[in-house]
Structure 1
Amino acid sequence: MLLSDLKVGDKAEVTGLLVESGVRRRILDMGLVKGVRFKVLRVAPLGDPIEIVFKGVYLTLRKNEAAGVQVEKTGEVGDGRPMGNQRSRWRFGS
């Protein structure tokens, strides 16, 4: 599945990049690497651009850039699952 196919509220994990080297480097530099989980926040009415959030970063991609990002869908809006592998770092009483 491609990032450009996701809808608002969908959660996914990056599995690969299928874009030319210049765009690939830019996407990797922004932190969108294999294994990163994100959520689709907004999609413009005509589908371009797409805004996602991951690790506290809000990133807007053009549709042609998003079409080069392979993803695996991990959830939908309202499913009650957290976006990433979020575990509590603080344990009280130990």
Structure 2
Amino acid sequence: MKLSELAVGQQANICSLKQLDTSTRKKLMVMGVLPNTLVTLIRKAPMGDPLQVRIRDVSVAIRKSTAQQIMVEAQ
């Protein structure tokens, strides 16, 4: 499933970042978005973009188009 498909409050493990382009992948990895990391969807903006996620006690805003390229496994 894709990160963008999570429901608010739902947790998942990040499985793959392979669909992202190299520069975006590197930026996210520096912020702690790594495979086998637990992520929680905190909220979606009123128009659905961006998404606020919590990764390792850090809150990160991610564009919906980027979240659609991050594969996760729901808990």
So what's the TM-score if we normalise by structure 1? 0.75
Identity fraction in percent: 31
Q: CA deviation at 1:45?
A: 2.1
* Structure with bigger gyration radius: 1
Q: Which residue of 1 aligns with 2:48?
A: 47
Question: Greater share of helix residues, 1 or 2?
Answer: 2
TM-score, normalised to structure 2, is: 0.92
Question: Number of residues paired by the alignment?
Answer: 74
Moved over 2 A (4+): none
In structure 1, distance between residues paired with 2:26 and 2:56: 19
User: Does the aligned pair in 2 maintain the 1:7–1:43 contact within 8 Å?
Assistant: no
- Counterpart in the other structure of 1:89: none
Once residues 64 and 57 of structure 2 are traced to their aligned partners in structure 1, the CA distance between those partners, rounded to angstroms, is: 22
Backbone CA RMSD of aligned residues: 0.8
Unaligned regions of 5+ residues in structure 1, if any? 75-94
- For structure 2, the residue ranges without an aligned partner over 5 or more in a row are none
Higher RCO structure, 1 or 2 (CA under 8 Å, sep 6+): 2
